[in-house]
């Protein structure tokens, strides 16, 4: 080929390259309005977040908020690499499993000054455990956005057919087990209760109800050295292994607990408040489902947790992000969020807006349970010890060994991780 041709090809290549680069550069500001990104992971909560952003965008002209959803599986990978590249979203959701890492990495803005000076935010109205969760020393790295507790969901139709009274606050573990035995109908493939290998919406609740613990207060020891913990988990496992009122852990890999429940094949199950939207979205379960407080053991307890909104430490628009965060944390913003029914707003007083979204369910119980809430156990490397706990309990849920027999090994494995913190 002639040289001239190569020149043409090369200049064409350069031209397209420069076009590409120009295209990349388009993110630059075109007007004085600050564009900020609000990054979240839950598509179910998107309507609520968009509702807040919409009102905020209309109220003023200086800041425009774009809400961006990234599914949970990719959310943390993406946030981590964007933090390393200094290109984090301006404002985003933070979770108790991940906060330690980001706090150590010093990539989150300290909000304590904002909270002190703001007229919009009354920090005393947020659950104190959540406030503490997102605190590092004297730095406040996130403002609680919502909270969740766990409820006992039940199928009214199945209870009516069996002629059993619906669960209420008088229920204990024994009432639950008796009812579950009665409601189980193996021929029809109907189970009285669902007891999958699940911590937050499962056996962790029972551990605290039995006076046990998952981690010691100083987060140095595993609670599995405590007989009350072992007893509670064994009781939970026996629901499927001994009494057969629940599908086995294996059967749950065929069908999730939610699909058992929505298919009308389970009379009772524990689901978090964040699953309310999912239950309401299915025509059948929207009709037959309702929710009650968890049954009482030695005491009452429900695992509780919550997300926070955090701001990137090096956002190019700190004022804009703070302004939006203030709106998110204000009563108006919290109610806007709650009315869409994605999650229970963290602000005391605004949380009832969530219950208004679901007149068909008795969702007040989620707020009621805040009286005996138990924060979801966490430490610096939560995910790692949770993984060990899960791994060691698998043979227990298979019925091969008892909780007692693995508790020593489980505690050792968990404590080995706690030691590295």
Partner 1 sequence: MSIQSRAKSKNISHGNREKRSMMFWGWMLIAPTLIGLLILNIIPVIQTLIMSFQNVSTFGESTWVFFDNYKRLFEDPKFWLSLKNTLLYGIIQVPITVALSTLAAVLLNQKIKGVEVYRVIYFLPMIAAPAAVAMVWRWMYSSDYGLINSFLKFLGFSGNIEWLYNPQVVIWSLIIVGIWSNVGYNMILLLSGLQEIPKSYYEAADLDGAGTVQQFFKITLPLLTPQLFFVLVTSIISAFQVFDLIFVMFEATNPALSKVQSLVYQFYNETFILDDKGYGAAIVIILVVLIMIVTVIQLIGQKKWVNYD
Interface residue list for partner 1 (CB under 8 A): 6, 10, 76-77, 80, 83-84, 101-102, 104-107, 189, 196-198, 249-255, 381, 383-384, 387, 390, 394-395, 397-398
Beta carbon of residue 180, minimum distance to partner 1 (angstroms, whole number): 20
CA 226, chain centre distance (Å) = 27
Of 10 and 169, CB closest to partner 1: 10
Rounded CA-CA distance 102/108 in Å is 7
Of 10 and 405, CB closest to partner 1: 10
Of 91 and 107, CB closest to partner 1: 107
Beta carbon of residue 373, minimum distance to partner 1 (angstroms, whole number): 25
Rounded CA-CA distance 139/61 in Å is 31
Residue that the structure tokens 């689901």 belong to: 271
Of 358 and 387, CB closest to partner 1: 387
Closest of 262, 288, 283, 257 to residue 157, by C-alpha: 288
Of 76 and 123, CB closest to partner 1: 76
Partners of 172 in beta bridges:
296
Beta carbon of residue 173, minimum distance to partner 1 (angstroms, whole number): 23
Rounded CA-CA distance 360/262 in Å is 16
Of 136 and 332, CB closest to partner 1: 136
Of 84 and 156, CB closest to partner 1: 84
Beta carbon of residue 98, minimum distance to partner 1 (angstroms, whole number): 9
Q: What angle do CA 263, 266, 269 make, to 5 degrees?
A: 115
Beta carbon of residue 271, minimum distance to partner 1 (angstroms, whole number): 16
Of 14 and 55, CB closest to partner 1: 14
Beta carbon of residue 396, minimum distance to partner 1 (angstroms, whole number): 10
Rounded CA-CA distance 145/310 in Å is 10
Burial of 228 (0-12, 13-18, 19+ CB in 10 A): middle
Partners of 140 in beta bridges:
135
Q: Which two tokens stand for residue 195?
A: 């007891």
Rounded CA-CA distance 203/393 in Å is 11
Hey, is 291 helix, strand or coil?
A: strand
Rounded CA-CA distance 12/346 in Å is 56
Partners of 304 in beta bridges:
375
Q: Which two tokens stand for residue 279?
A: 């239950």
Of 249 and 344, CB closest to partner 1: 249
Q: Which two tokens stand for residue 233?
A: 């988990």
Rounded CA-CA distance 261/407 in Å is 31
Beta carbon of residue 303, minimum distance to partner 1 (angstroms, whole number): 17
Beta carbon of residue 384, minimum distance to partner 1 (angstroms, whole number): 5
Beta carbon of residue 197, minimum distance to partner 1 (angstroms, whole number): 5
Beta carbon of residue 192, minimum distance to partner 1 (angstroms, whole number): 18
CA 205, chain centre distance (Å) = 15
Of 105 and 227, CB closest to partner 1: 105
167-175's contacts with Cβ under 8 Å and 24+ in sequence apart are 167/268, 167/292, 167/295, 168/292, 168/293, 169/292, 169/293, 171/292, 171/295, 171/296, 172/295, 172/296, 172/297, 173/206, 173/209, 173/235, 173/295, 173/296, 173/297, 175/295
Of 344 and 396, CB closest to partner 1: 396
What's the chain's length in residues? 421
Beta carbon of residue 179, minimum distance to partner 1 (angstroms, whole number): 24
Give the alpha-carbon dihedral of 233, 237, 238, 244, to 10 degrees. 160
């Amino acid at each position: 080929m002639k040289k001239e041709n190569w020149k043409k090809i090369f200049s064409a290549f350069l031209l397209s390259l420069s076009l590409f680069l120009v295209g990349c550069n388009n993110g630059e500001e075109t007007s004085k309005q600050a564009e900020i990104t609000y990054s979240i992971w839950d598509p179910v909560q998107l309507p609520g977040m968009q509702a807040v952003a919409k009102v905020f965008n209309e109220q003023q002209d200086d800041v425009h908020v774009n809400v961006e959803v990234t599914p949970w599986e990719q959310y943390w990978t993406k946030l981590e690499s964007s933090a390393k590249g200094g290109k984090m979203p301006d404002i985003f959701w933070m979770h108790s499993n991940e906060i330690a890492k980001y706090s150590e990495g010093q990539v989150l803005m300290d909000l304590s000054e904002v909270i002190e000076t703001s007229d919009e935010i009354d920090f005393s109205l947020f659950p104190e455990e959540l406030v503490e969760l997102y605190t590092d020393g004297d730095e406040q790295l996130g403002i609680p956005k919502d909270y969740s507790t766990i409820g006992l969901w039940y199928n009214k139709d199945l209870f009516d057919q069996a002629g059993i009274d619906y669960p209420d606050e008088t229920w204990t573990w024994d009432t639950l087990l008796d009812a579950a035995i009665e409601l189980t109908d193996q021929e029809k493939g109907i189970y009285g209760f669902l007891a999958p290998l699940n911590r937050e919406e499962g056996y962790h609740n029972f551990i605290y109800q039995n006076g046990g613990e998952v981690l010691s207060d100083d987060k140095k020891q595993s609670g599995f050295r405590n007989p009350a913990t072992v007893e509670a988990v064994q009781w939970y496992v026996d629901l499927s292994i001994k009494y057969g009122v629940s599908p086995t852990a294996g059967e749950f890999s065929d069908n999730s607990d939610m699909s058992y429940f929505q298919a009308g094949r389970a009379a009772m199950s524990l689901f978090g408040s964040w699953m309310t939207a999912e239950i309401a979205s299915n025509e059948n379960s929207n009709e037959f489902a309702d929710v009650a407080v968890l049954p009482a053991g030695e005491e009452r307890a429900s695992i509780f947790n919550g997300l926070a909104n955090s701001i990137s430490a090096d956002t190019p628009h700190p004022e804009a992000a703070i302004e939006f965060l203030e709106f998110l944390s204000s009563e108006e913003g919290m109610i806007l969020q709650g009315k869409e029914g994605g999650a229970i707003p963290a602000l005391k007083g605004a949380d009832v807006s969530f219950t208004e979204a679901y007149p068909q369910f008795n969702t007040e119980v989620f707020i009621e349970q805040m009286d005996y809430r138990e924060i979801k156990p966490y430490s610096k490397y939560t995910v790692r010890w949770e993984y060990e706990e899960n791994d060691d309990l698998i043979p227990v849920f298979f019925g091969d060994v008892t909780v007692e027999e693995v508790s020593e090994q489980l505690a050792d494995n968990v404590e080995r991780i706690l030691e590295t913190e």
